[in-house]
Amino acid sequence: MTGAARSGVIVRAQRRFRARRRAGSRRALRRAVVIVAVIGLLALGGWLLVNSSLVALRYVTVEGTSRLTVAQVLDAAHVREGSSLVRLDTTAIARRVDALAPVERAVVTRKWPHGLVIHVTERTAAAVGISPDGAVLLDASGVAFAPVSSPPAGLLHVDVSAALPGAGADAARAGMRVLAELPARLRRSVETVQAPSVDAITIHLRDGRTVIWGSPEDSATKAAVLRVLLRKGALVYDVSTPSVAVTRG
């Protein structure tokens, strides 16, 4: 092949290469335009959905309340009618309802297209806290959640030396922790738990016996030692220092 022929072949090849490159660039440009258009449409659709009355909040349903009123829950939830259901922060709403003392747990769910459901689990009274300021119901963990004019029958008393809720809260929780560690048979015989402080828990039984527990620390060990000591007839069982536990009376 002569030099001129070779030169012609090279020129034609270069032209085909440039043509293919231009075609590829046009295809890439078309794809980019399509992608941008789709993204724009999705963004517009999302904006319209979020701001549309099609998903505006029109009603709130409150479930599970007995001690609390629906109005109290709604006031704590603090949601406005007409708000976008998409934008509502259900976790934040539940957290605000959880802040109500009688609430153990709140779960908030959307009910499309216009509703919100707030399901409340209220605390269950396991004892009554007796403080200088009066009587307050306690749940199993010792949380004070509802004042009462007089202690309800059938609930054991947890006596603390400071207000509930307030400065006596830690002592009340400590008293209920100790109660949970007692042998089941003994727990049913408890009449009063005295908790003047976190480190000075004393348990009074209905038959007149007393258990000096001290702090909630080492409660499992104290409970095991107490099981052994209860085999002895005594009026006072001191397990506050379980390694040197003693009985009296």
Cα 5 to Cα 8, 14, 17, 247, distances in angstroms: 5, 14, 19, 118
pTM: 0.76
- Architecture label for domain 127-248: 3-Layer(aba) Sandwich (3.40)
If phi > 0 it is left, if psi is from -120 to 50 it is alpha, else beta; for residue 153 that is beta
Predicted confidence (pLDDT) at residue 13 exceeds the cutoff of 60: no
Q: Compute the distance between CA of residue 118 and CA of residue 92 in angstroms, rounded to an integer.
A: 12
Structure confidence by residue, pLDDT tens digits, 52-78:
578 899 999 999 999 999 999 999 999
Residue 37 confidence (pLDDT): 47
Specify the higher pLDDT residue, 16 or 132.
132
What's the CATH number for 53-122? 3.10.20.310
Q: Compute the distance between CA of residue 225 and CA of residue 245 in angstroms, rounded to an integer.
A: 8
Cβ-Cβ contacts under 8 Å for 140 (sequence gap 6 or more): 124, 126, 176, 180
